[in-house]
Amino acid sequence: MNRQDIKNYARFLFQELKESPEGLIKDDDTDTETDLNNLVNISLATVELDLIPIIPQEFRSSFLISLTAAKQSYHLEDDLSVTDYLAMEDIFHNESAKLPKGLLYVTHDQIPDYEINVADTATRPRIWVWEEKDKIGFYPIPSATIADILKAFYFKAIPELAADDEIPAFPVVAHHLIGIDVALQMMVADEGGARNVSALYGREFSRIRGRLKGLKPSLQTDRRSKLSKLVR
């Protein structure tokens, strides 16, 4: 479904007509049409957040991190050139001939638990933290400049739809969920209608979740080593 299909489906659920004078949201009215386009992008983000836990591979991306001597904090966009960031997943060591073990994530109040002093330096960091919005930090502070020493995996924010012929950047089987969520936003003032559309979204999402989660490689295992063996 493209954006126009999604809007038509939302109107169908809302029982909204485009023809004047019955219609409230018309394609020939720039202001109200822009509002509907905004609702589509709001719902696009909502559906993405719902889908990430069940099909993370559809939204996952990665980038390499080069450490700079004496540099503790790295801004995602300015330092690491990541412009579509939504949420971080994990960071791993990326060294030739060594296992790609994970770098442990901690919160600031946990740093003392690892006996790391404020000014401590090391060739390889042991932990990473969120320093502030869109900025990550490494402890101990890198003592050497090393290219591509870490590899981070993150969930990317999919692009908003800017034209009626554009298509959402996730599986087509879930496109109609956007239209349902748009209709839910439109019906928020109508308590009964909102309940009905909310129930429809829940039913459709449960159906899609069940089917997508079942589509997994047959050669797999749920075996995991102890956390102490997975991180350095």
Range with the poorest average pLDDT among 40-44, 164-168, 180-184: 180-184
Tell me, what's the pLDDT at 201?
A: 75
Q: How many domains does the chain have?
A: 2
pLDDT in tens, 100-154: 888 989 888 888 888 888 889 998 899 999 999 899 999 999 999 999 999 999 9
37 and 13 together in one domain:
yes
105 and 43 together in one domain:
no
Using the predicted structure, report yes or no on whether residue 24 has a pLDDT greater than 60: no
User: Is residue 200 a part of any domain in this protein?
Assistant: yes
User: Is residue 41 a part of any domain in this protein?
Assistant: yes
85 and 110 together in one domain:
yes
Q: How much of the chain exceeds pLDDT 90, in percent?
A: 46
Q: Which of 156, 171, 199 is the last residue of a domain?
A: 156
Using the predicted structure, report yes or no on whether residue 226 has a pLDDT greater than 50: yes
88 and 128 together in one domain:
yes
User: Is residue 188 a part of any domain in this protein?
Assistant: yes
11 and 83 together in one domain:
no
Tell me if 1 sits within 8 A of 176, measured CB to CB. Answer: yes
Per the structure, the complete domain to which residue 14 belongs is given by 3-55+161-213
**DSSP-derived secondary structure for 120-151:** -EESS-SEEEEEETTEEEEESEE-S-EEEEEE
User: Is residue 222 a part of any domain in this protein?
Assistant: no
